[in-house]
Amino acid sequence: MREIGIEQLDDIARGAGILGTGGGGDPYIGKLLAREAIRRHGPVTVADIDEVPADATVVPVSAMGAPTVLLEKLPSGAEELTALRALEAVLGRPATHIVPIEIGGVNSMIPIAAAAESGLPLVDGDAMGRAFPEAQMVLPTLIGVSTTPMALADDKGNTLVVDAVSNLWSERIARSACVEMGCQVSCADTVLRGDQLRDGLVPATLTLAEDLGRAVRLARHEHADPVAAARDLLGGTRLLTGKVIDVERRTSGGFARGQASLEGLGADAGRTLRLNFQNEHLLATRDGEVVATTPDLICVLDTETGEPVTTENMRYGLRVTVIAAPCDPRWTTPAGLALAGPRYFGYDCDHVPLTLA
């Protein structure tokens, strides 16, 4: 058992931004929420997966909806607990642990705030190992764990508990409800027993996020290469170092799709890379050849600082390095790819295993 205090939050947020693969919402606002919660209630106790009793009730707590709304209508600080209590009422038993549903982006920080407020320990792991946009895109789906009962709470105190026939239906119903509840809700869902954590979670990802954030910070401080530090920790490969020369965004079929074109600089001069993104970066095509796809992680980092660049902030002229890192191997099984492979997102290509240098 160890603790997360205010001093760890910067590193975790930076690492979570990198693991967000361009999406997941900027962890910045989540960091402020976690910071205020820890300031009021004290540090959060963290448990490794191995330390959680088999009969524990482990509840992922998260934010769902538009980051734009989260940045405007900040939470009261009570929403996560309202969602948690609504879920507990249906479960008929109290939660014993909190866990992040996704380590990428702002949802790495919301559970830290929830753990501080509830006084419950936080499990070091998450259900994705990155960021994904939909509720069913979690490892628990692959082992038959239901995302429901799923409790949603808004800022006004309204709650809704969804009971769905499949995890895909839970996403459809919850997303619609989220819009009606103001486009930003707190969620408690996808309840795991302690003995399901090994199969339902990617282990030690809070630690990974903190290590990643620290490595980038220290590399920068020592005038070393922060991008290389991130790549090494992720066991990934560098796809291109270059400059964004074009960004195109459009809304089609209910999805905001975009693509960015990069041209190589330095050793990569003469090469090009195209990134296709929706909420996250999903596809990387180098010199006409697909070299990385979802569910593997495609991370765009500022070449100089190693800070993550979100899809929303992709703009002309940015100097970035694109790295690709392998996802948890369970995502590249046929069932995993059906949930979160390139075809699910509407791209006409198969998953391409990464060539690791």
Residues that bind other proteins (CB under 8 A): 23, 25, 29, 32-33, 36-37, 64-69, 71-78, 113, 133, 155-157, 175-176, 179, 182-183, 245-246, 249, 251, 253-256, 263, 279, 311-313, 315-317, 319
- How many Å apart are CA 106 and CA 31, to the nearest integer? 8
Q: Which helix (H) or strand (E) holds 257?
A: strand 255-264
> Cis ω on the peptide bond leading into residue 27 (within 30° of 0)?
no
- How many Å apart are CA 337 and CA 316, to the nearest integer? 32
Q: How far is the CB of 79 from other proteins (least distance, A)?
A: 8
Cα–Cα distances (Å) from 175 to 31, 61, 186, 325, in that order, read 24, 16, 12, 29
Residues 6+ apart with CB under 8 A from 185: 63, 64, 65, 79, 83, 152, 153, 154, 177, 178
Q: How far is the CB of 205 from other proteins (least distance, A)?
A: 20
Q: Using the minimum distance from each CB to other proteins, give the nearer residue, 211 or 280.
A: 280
Phi/psi region, residue 135 (left: phi>0; alpha: psi -120 to 50; beta: rest), is: alpha
Q: How far is the CB of 32 from other proteins (least distance, A)?
A: 5
Q: Using the minimum distance from each CB to other proteins, give the nearer residue, 170 or 311.
A: 311
Q: Using the minimum distance from each CB to other proteins, give the nearer residue, 90 or 183.
A: 183
Q: Using the minimum distance from each CB to other proteins, give the nearer residue, 179 or 338.
A: 179
Strand partners, 274: 261, 285
Q: How far is the CB of 279 from other proteins (least distance, A)?
A: 5
What interhelical angle do 205-221 and 226-234 show, nearest 10?
160
Strands 237-252 and 319-325: antiparallel
Strands 150-153 and 192-193: unpaired
Q: Using the minimum distance from each CB to other proteins, give the nearer residue, 124 or 134.
A: 134
Q: How many residues does the chain have?
A: 357
Q: How far is the CB of 326 from other proteins (least distance, A)?
A: 25
Q: How far is the CB of 258 from other proteins (least distance, A)?
A: 10
Q: Using the minimum distance from each CB to other proteins, give the nearer residue, 143 or 183.
A: 183
Nearest CA among 127, 104, 101 for reference residue 114: 101
Q: How far is the CB of 112 from other proteins (least distance, A)?
A: 13
Q: Using the minimum distance from each CB to other proteins, give the nearer residue, 162 or 197.
A: 162
Strands 319-325 and 297-302: antiparallel
Q: How far is the CB of 29 from other proteins (least distance, A)?
A: 8
Q: How far is the CB of 36 from other proteins (least distance, A)?
A: 6
Nearest CA among 261, 175, 180, 209 for reference residue 100: 209
Cα–Cα distances (Å) from 341 to 8, 288, 327, 331, in that order, read 33, 20, 11, 8
Q: Using the minimum distance from each CB to other proteins, give the nearer residue, 156 or 198.
A: 156
Q: Using the minimum distance from each CB to other proteins, give the nearer residue, 132 or 331.
A: 132
